[in-house]
Amino acid sequence: MVPILEAVPNFSEGRDLGWIGELLQVIERESVEVLDWTADREHHRSVVTYIGDLESVETASIAAALFAMDGIDLRTHQGLHPRIGALDVLPFVPLHDLTMDLAIESARRVAGWLAEEGIPVYLYGEARYGTTASRPDRSLASIRRGGFEALQEGFPAGREPDLAAPQWLGKPHPTAGVTCVGARRVLLAWNVFVEGISFYALKAIAREFRESGGGFEHLRALALELPESGRLQISMNLEDPVATSPYNVFDAIEERVEAGGGQVVETEVIGMIPDPLVLPTAVDRFRILHPGESRLLSRRVSEHVSARGISHTRV
């Protein structure tokens, strides 16, 4: 049996579709299967999902990181989404017949390569080293607070990277910044669009329901106002959609929005759809944009396994 690893890199480029097309070619040359990609102009961010064996996924991730380092300059980057790197976040996710320990090893190998290339690295999730005074247990939100600009002149005390080159001068890469590399389980990344309430009210809802505000466990939530389209959204990561039901999260948000005189318009899932968001029930309930079984993660992994003649047990 061949273990299957997933990578879901987030790049700080969401407007140049030609560049993104070249990026996809760079990734696909390394014998991985690209399952999905999205690009958002206002977030100025793109997310790619690909799977394969460990070596291929690691090689594709390194190639993508190098391409991003050469093609993205954070000094001129302006977008809504918090970011500190050209390749901002690189999570590895164990899927078919793969242990978390192996995903962690992949994450740390790629992180080491990035550091040697001059890009400091924060490790997060399961890939982080033991928590110490010099390597505190940091969330992605705390790591990226203030963005690239907050780190540009050097790392404040307590925010030093986990990995850096031996000749490191104490600052991020001048154009590519810092990359967060991690290992995690399957999560749900989604944006819920609302109308009829103020941005102030939406920020209060996001604060109330995210885990750090005493709300739902495993939920990260950020209210955003999209200036080009004039729309409001809650951008969320549900880091364990099995332990915390996305239906419960959605219902709570909808109830609070409607109590304020507004309504939920639609939901956008970023990347692949995890099994707890069962189609077609979720399409109806959440009003999901661009649904389809081709975006159901377990189905695509099964097809990938079958196409390669791999004995399939489970995702």
Give catalytic residue positions.
Answer: 81
CA nearest neighbour of 72 among 17, 10, 13, 27? 13
Q: Which residues pair with 226 in a beta bridge?
A: 231
Using an 8 Å Cβ cutoff, are 126 and 92 in contact? Answer: no
Using an 8 Å Cβ cutoff, are 216 and 188 in contact? Answer: no
Q: Which residues pair with 95 in a beta bridge?
A: none
CA nearest neighbour of 85 among 151, 130, 21? 151
Cβ neighbours, 10 Å, residue 16: 15
